[in-house]
């Protein structure tokens, strides 16, 4: 499974402060620690102030790329910020995210095609989050038609079936997991990704809920997740789940992950 490290996010106060004061060391430490913990991508979110976001995002990119080679996942709803960011990255970025909204698709897919990297597509649109499996798959269908028309390969499309907190939405996780199984059949070339932490929003001992959900999502066919790579228990849970579902034969990777000194 691909791990997209979530820590460099301007909606976290520690990161917001580092951006405001141009504290490169704080950002670079997060970039290094997440990379060492096994992140395949680093999410980069500069926060939500529209006028400052382009500059802040480029500063973050330059700051991170000065210390690690991990490719970047550009996390912004602002097409202007994304347009300057794709020029600043050293490697093809992941764009996070488009939605099924026609305007979003029209604005952003040319940028994705041009960048040469993958894109995360949230299965919602300007009318909201579809409530049923069928409606989410229909939204995915519209998105896949648009990405293909834009010349983006299916395997560069990471469909995010939308994770809502179980504290507010009875049966919501089950709908998301069933959507994942349906997407696996409907679009076998496309990938599946989730933002993990939403599932436990508003609950105590959130990490146990996150682990349970990620275990079930892996069984449903998950390819990638935006998560906290510094959470050791979560890392062990991922390796354990991959061993149980047979992605990791005989648990060889699991055993190795518990004994870093033997690598």
List interacting residues with its own copies (CB under 8 A).
Answer: 166-168, 170-174, 177, 199, 203-205, 208-209, 211-213, 215-216, 219, 236-237, 239-241, 243-246, 249-251, 254-255, 258-259
Q: Please report the DSSP string for 122-154 in residue order.
A: ES-BTTB---SHHHHHHHHHHHHHHHHHTT--G
CA 48 to CA 77: how far, in whole Å?
Answer: 9
Closest distance of CB 180 from its own copies, Å: 12
The beta-strand segments (E) located in the chain are: 2-5, 41-44, 72-75, 94-98, 119-122, 157-160, 191-195, 224-227
CB closer to its own copies, 26 vs 37: 37
Closest distance of CB 173 from its own copies, Å: 5
CB closer to its own copies, 73 vs 241: 241
CB closer to its own copies, 56 vs 223: 223
Q: Which of 139, 79, 141 is nearest to 114 (CA)?
A: 79
Q: What is the Cα Rg of the chain in Å?
A: 18
Closest distance of CB 83 from its own copies, Å: 38
CB closer to its own copies, 130 vs 172: 172
CB closer to its own copies, 80 vs 178: 178
CB closer to its own copies, 53 vs 242: 242
Closest distance of CB 248 from its own copies, Å: 9
Closest distance of CB 198 from its own copies, Å: 12
**Structure tokens belonging to residue 55:** 């500059």
Closest distance of CB 237 from its own copies, Å: 6
CB closer to its own copies, 90 vs 245: 245
Identify the H or E element spanning 212: helix 206-219
Cα dihedral across residues 216, 222, 227, 228: positive or negative: positive
Closest distance of CB 206 from its own copies, Å: 10
**Structure tokens belonging to residue 178:** 């069933």
**Structure tokens belonging to residue 140:** 């995915």
Q: Is 46 left (phi over 0), alpha (psi -120 to 50) or beta?
A: alpha
**Structure tokens belonging to residue 110:** 């040319």
CB closer to its own copies, 102 vs 202: 202
Closest distance of CB 238 from its own copies, Å: 9
Cα–Cα distances (Å) from 105 to 92, 97, 116, 175, 187, in that order, read 19, 10, 16, 24, 18
């Amino acid at each position: 499974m691909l791990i997209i490290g979530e820590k460099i996010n301007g909606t976290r106060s520690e990161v917001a402060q580092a951006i405001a004061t141009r504290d490169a060391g704080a950002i670079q430490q997060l970039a290094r620690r997440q990379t060492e913990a096994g992140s395949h991508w680093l999410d980069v979110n500069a926060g939500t102030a529209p006028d400052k976001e382009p500059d802040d995002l480029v500063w973050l990119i330059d700051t991170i790329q000065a210390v690690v080679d991990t490719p970047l996942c550009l996390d912004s709803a602002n097409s202007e910020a994304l347009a300057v960011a794709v020029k600043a990255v050293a490697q093809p970025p992941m764009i996070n995210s488009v939605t099924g909204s026609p305007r979003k698709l029209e604005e952003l897919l040319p940028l994705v095609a041009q960048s040469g990297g993958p894109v995360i597509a949230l299965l919602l649109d300007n009318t909201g989050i579809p409530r049923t499996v069928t409606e989410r798959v229909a939204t995915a269908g519209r998105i896949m038609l648009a990405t293909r028309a834009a010349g983006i390969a299916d395997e560069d499309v990471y469909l995010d079936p939308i994770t809502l907190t179980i504290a507010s939405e009875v049966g919501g996780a089950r709908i998301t997991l069933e959507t994942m199984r349906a997407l696996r059949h409907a679009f076998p070339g496309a990938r599946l990704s989730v933002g993990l932490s939403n599932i436990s929003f508003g609950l105590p001992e959130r990490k146990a809920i996150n682990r349970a959900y990620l275990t079930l999502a892996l069984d449903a066919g998950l390819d990638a997740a935006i998560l906290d790579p510094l959470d050791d228990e979560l890392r062990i849970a991922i390796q354990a789940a991959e061993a149980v579902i047979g992605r990791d034969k005989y648990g060889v990777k699991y055993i190795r992950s518990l004994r870093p000194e033997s690598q």
